[in-house]
């Protein structure tokens, strides 16, 4: 996604601002220099609000006023806050397709300093050779080009540049992992895989209910459905256990650092006790990870599951043998028999 231009109206300090972004082959970087408290961070926030809505605002917009702060609250006037962004994305044919997204909300300041704000309304239009076409569900269109998980990666506030890698090791791994998955489109693949599994399970259940010994097949189908429901639960348990293990490893490293410092100060007994407690917790977490993996593996040792997986090949073999029997090729006859 490439931003082309933006127009912002009544967004805090930015009452009527238009920005043309440099998109040329040689001049393709736009640098905005201004004094402190002049609206640079506000411009960054306005662009994110225009694309993502209230979820991009601090505290999801609950305590963040959009309208200019110098508008008096005794007039009870609804102030329109609007952001328009023109952007383009590449098509499969290799061309660039232009779009315009427009987001508007009305905010009414009160005399006590609070405000009322209507839910924002968003429109997305597509530029065509013959004019423009309105598109439904703008969020679904933007998400493949700029996922919400990557919002803070591409819209980086210089004052919070290090926030992406702050926190514990587990938090850092989670943020980086989510960003990589979004960049590679893993969320779409994962949703497609999950949907395909659901469809396959439903079709298998319908087929099994319509043939063979209904009671036995129904039992197998129910057991298989139960096993399939357990798979995501156990996978989540493994992830949770791994996260807990990572956090405990962070605590262990912190305890080691504290122990070294305490040894210098003579408080050895207390820190040794804390270190042993952290190590015990880590051992428990490791055992939980191993047990969760073992439970996950045991799902595939079920006899009912084996029968279900072999039902297809057995059915084909039975049909083939039945055809040979109908042709009197089996059982083999050593004495020729005249047939009518």
* CATH for 2-145, options being 2.130.10.10, 3.40.50.300, 3.40.50.1820, 3.40.50.1110: 3.40.50.300
Nearest Cα to Cα of residue 288 among 246, 230, 237: 237
DSSP string, 145-171: HS-GGGHHHHS--GGGTTGGG-S-HHH
Read off the tokens for 160.
Answer: 């919070």
CA–CA dist 272, 55 (Å, integer): 45
Is the pTM for the entire model greater than 0.85? no
> 205-215 burial, b for 16+ CB within 10 Å, e for fewer?
beebeeeeeee
63 Cβ partners below 8 Å, 6+ apart? none
Lowest mean pLDDT among 91-95, 109-113, 164-168, 281-285: 164-168
pLDDT of residue 323: 80
- 83, 49 in Cβ contact below 8 A? yes
Chain CA centroid to CA 247, Å? 22
Percent of the chain with pLDDT strictly greater than 70? 69
What are the structural domain ranges in the chain? 2-145, 169-323
Read off the tokens for 71.
Answer: 């508008």
Percent of the chain with pLDDT strictly greater than 90? 19
> 152-167 burial, b for 16+ CB within 10 Å, e for fewer?
bbeeeeeeeeeeeeee
Listed in order, strand segments (DSSP E) in the chain are: 2-11, 14-20, 79-90, 96-109, 115-117, 121-128, 131-135
CA–CA dist 45, 59 (Å, integer): 12
- 21, 4 in Cβ contact below 8 A? yes
- 255, 271 in Cβ contact below 8 A? yes
| Locus of tokens 């998955």 | 181
Lowest mean pLDDT among 40-44, 127-131, 213-217, 304-308: 213-217
Nearest Cα to Cα of residue 12 among 38, 48, 50: 38
Model confidence band, residue 340 (pLDDT cutoffs 50, 70, 90): very low
Q: What integer is the mean pLDDT of 34-48?
A: 88
Nearest Cα to Cα of residue 301 among 184, 214, 223: 223
Is residue 137 over pLDDT 60? Answer: yes
pLDDT of residue 274: 76
Q: How far is CA 119 from CA 125, 212, 272, in A?
A: 20, 56, 56
């Amino acid at each position: 996604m490439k931003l082309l231009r933006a127009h912002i109206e009544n967004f805090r300090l930015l009452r009527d601002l238009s920005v043309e972004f440099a998109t040329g082959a040689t001049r393709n970087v736009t640098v905005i220099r201004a004094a402190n408290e002049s609206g640079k961070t506000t411009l960054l926030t306005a662009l994110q609000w225009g694309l993502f809505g209230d979820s991009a605002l601090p505290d999801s917009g609950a305590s963040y006023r959009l309208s200019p702060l110098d508008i008096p609250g005794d007039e009870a006037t609804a102030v329109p806050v609007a952001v328009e962004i023109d952007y383009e994305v590449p098509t499969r044919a290799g061309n660039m397709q232009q779009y315009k997204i427009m987001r508007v909300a009305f905010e009414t300041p009160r005399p006590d300093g609070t405000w009322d704000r209507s839910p924002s309304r968003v429109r997305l239009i597509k530029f065509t050779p013959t004019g423009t076409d309105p598109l439904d569900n703008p969020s679904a269109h933007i998400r493949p080009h700029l996922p919400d998980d990557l919002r803070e990666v591409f819209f980086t506030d210089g004052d919070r540049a290090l926030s992406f890698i702050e926190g514990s090791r587990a938090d850092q791994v989670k943020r980086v992992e989510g960003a990589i998955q979004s960049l590679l489109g893993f969320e779409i693949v994962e949703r497609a895989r999950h949907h395909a599994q659901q469809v396959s399970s439903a079709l298998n259940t319908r087929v099994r209910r319509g043939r063979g010994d209904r009671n036995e097949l129904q039992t197998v189908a129910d057991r298989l459905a139960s096993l399939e429901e357990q798979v995501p639960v156990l996978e989540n348990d493994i992830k949770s256990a791994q996260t807990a293990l990572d956090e405990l490893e962070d605590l262990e490293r912190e305890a080691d650092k504290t122990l070294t410092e305490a040894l210098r100060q003579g408080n050895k007994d207390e820190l040794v006790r804390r270190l042993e407690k952290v190590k015990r917790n880590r051992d428990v977490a490791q055992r939980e990870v191993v047990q969760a993996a073992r439970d996950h593996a045991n799902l595939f040792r079920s006899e009912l599951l084996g029968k279900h997986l072999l039902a297809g090949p057995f059915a084909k073999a039975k049909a083939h043998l039945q055809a040979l029997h109908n042709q009197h090729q089996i059982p083999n006859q050593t004495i020729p028999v005249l047939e009518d």
